[in-house]
Amino acid sequence: MKSSNGWKPGQSGNPKGKTPGSGELQRLRASIAEHVPSILEQLVTAAQGGDVQAARLILERVLPPVKATEQAIELDLPTDGTLTTTGRAVLSAVASGDLAPSQGAALLGAIGSLARVIEIDELDARLTKLEEQQNAKH
């Protein structure tokens, strides 16, 4: 099967184009590749000698930044109430300091997503019922 542009899926539109690895960046990387071990050795030596910039460069490139994590907490949310009641319980937990604001925002976002899913399910059920009623009349 050909696509609208005349090429088969997976076929290059420019088969004689630039070969992989022939760009300026690749040439630059290749030209310094043999020097990387000695550069790294010099950086480590400088960092060990007290060069803060060298130490920072090494650490920023080798160790990913530590991301803040929040302690998971157990939250008693109403199971028989409405989504509005559940949302108010989340806001109350944030206001009382039992729940971090970012956790509260995430929970409220999840509640909003759940509300949209429920709405779609209800609309689907209503549409199915209307279609069944319409088919029964004919």
| Contact residues for 123 (Cβ-Cβ < 8 A; gap 6+) | none
Greater confidence, 67 or 3?
A: 67
For 65-105, how does the pLDDT look when each residue is reduced to its tens digit (9 = 90+)?
Answer: 788 777 888 888 888 889 999 999 999 999 999 999 999 99
Give the residue among 59, 66, 64 at the shortest CA–CA distance from 43.
59
pTM for this model (two decimals): 0.49
For 13-40, how does the pLDDT look when each residue is reduced to its tens digit (9 = 90+)?
Answer: 676 766 666 688 888 888 899 998 999 9
Report the C-alpha gap between 117 and 121 in whole angstroms: 6
Tokens of 89: 């319980």
Q: pLDDT value at position 121?
A: 96
